[in-house]
């Protein structure tokens, strides 16, 4: 086959660090093209879900209800984009808030987590308040889409802050879309808005029989509706492509607001 300038492979950089970065991008792209692997990844998630796989991990002593791969991805984003305010919806046992706070601790400075939940159970609140990372965490109890709660969250964001948002509360289309509309405008350019549990759209209808959300009514459908109505974000598909085992396909949104 004749090689043209359009089809010729890009030259390998002589700098080993740059060469490794190119190699990694090519590997991730190949993973993204592997539809069979993607199908098997979803099958693995379906097999693990009935045994509540995500409930079996902790971060610095607090249960964190996440896939470990997504935590690694969020760590990469916090380190690379350097937010100093991380807004989270959904607290549960507090592991995610502690995780984000510990990353901000590593970055230095006065970074803080603002975490919202409609029901902060007393034993969880007490454990979070006693945690070494508690000085970086502000908890707000109430619905994340209530206008009063949204305004309280906004009050924790100052001029010049770099803001990241992680959504992991009620997973219906309407609720997540309302969260996106409320908190999306707070995200700083080049920082991320992470929407978890978009995987629900990729599961068979009725698979999650004990929930109020399902195929056609979930975080991914909300993401697509939101993206279609704003030019402020783009879906970073390279992240779920490399993770494969993730709760957030199409859920990593990079802010491209001018």
Tell me whether residue 71 is in a domain.
yes
Q: What's the confidence (pLDDT) of residue 88?
A: 98
Q: Is residue 169 part of a domain?
A: yes
Q: Which residue range forms the structural domain that includes residue 52?
A: 16-255
Question: Which residue from 183, 203, 209, 208 is spatially nearest to 194, judged by alpha carbons?
Answer: 183
pLDDT at 5: 53
pLDDT at 1: 47
245 assigned to some structural domain: yes
- Which residues of the chain fall below pLDDT 50? 1, 3
Has residue 7 been placed in a domain?
no
What was the pLDDT predicted at 7? 56
2 part of a folded domain:
no
For position 252, what pLDDT does the model report?
A: 98
1 assigned to some structural domain = no
CATH code of the domain covering residue 181: 3.40.50.150
Q: What's residue 9's pLDDT?
A: 61
Return all residues near 87 (Cβ < 8 A) that are at least 6 apart. Answer: 113, 114, 115, 116, 153, 156, 157, 163, 164, 165, 166, 183, 186
Total domains in the fold of the chain:
1
Report the pLDDT value the prediction gives residue 205, as an integer from 0 to 100: 94
53-99 pLDDT, tens per residue? Answer: 999 999 999 999 999 999 999 999 999 999 999 999 999 999 999 99
């Amino acid at each position: 086959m004749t090689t043209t300038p359009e089809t010729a492979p890009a030259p390998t950089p002589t700098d080993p660090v740059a060469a490794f970065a190119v190699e990694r991008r090519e590997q991730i792209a190949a993973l993204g093209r592997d539809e069979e692997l993607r199908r098997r990844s979803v099958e693995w998630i379906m097999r693990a879900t009935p045994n509540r796989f995500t409930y079996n991990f902790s971060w610095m002593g607090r249960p964190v209800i996440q896939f470990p791969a997504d935590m690694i991805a969020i760590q990469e984003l916090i380190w690379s984009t350097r937010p100093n305010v991380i807004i989270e919806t959904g607290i549960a046992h507090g592991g995610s808030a502690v995780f984000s706070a510990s990353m901000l601790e590593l970055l230095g400075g006065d970074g803080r987590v603002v975490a919202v939940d409609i029901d902060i159970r007393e034993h969880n609140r007490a454990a979070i308040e006693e945690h070494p990372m508690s000085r970086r965490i502000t908890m707000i109890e109430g619905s994340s889409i209530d206008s009063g709660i949204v305004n309280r969250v906004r009050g924790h964001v100052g001029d010049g802050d770099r803001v990241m948002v992680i959504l992991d509360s009620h997973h219906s289309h309407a609720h997540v879309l309302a969260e996106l509309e409320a908190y999306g405008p707070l995200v700083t350019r080049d920082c991320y808005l992470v929407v978890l549990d978009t995987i629900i759209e990729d599961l068979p209808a009725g698979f999650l029989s004990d929930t109020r959300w399902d195929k056609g009514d979930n975080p991914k459908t909300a993401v697509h509706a939101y993206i279609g109505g704003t030019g402020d974000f783009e879906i970073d598909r390279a992240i779920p492509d490399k993770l494969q085992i993730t709760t957030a396909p199409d859920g990593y949104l990079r802010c491209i607001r001018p």
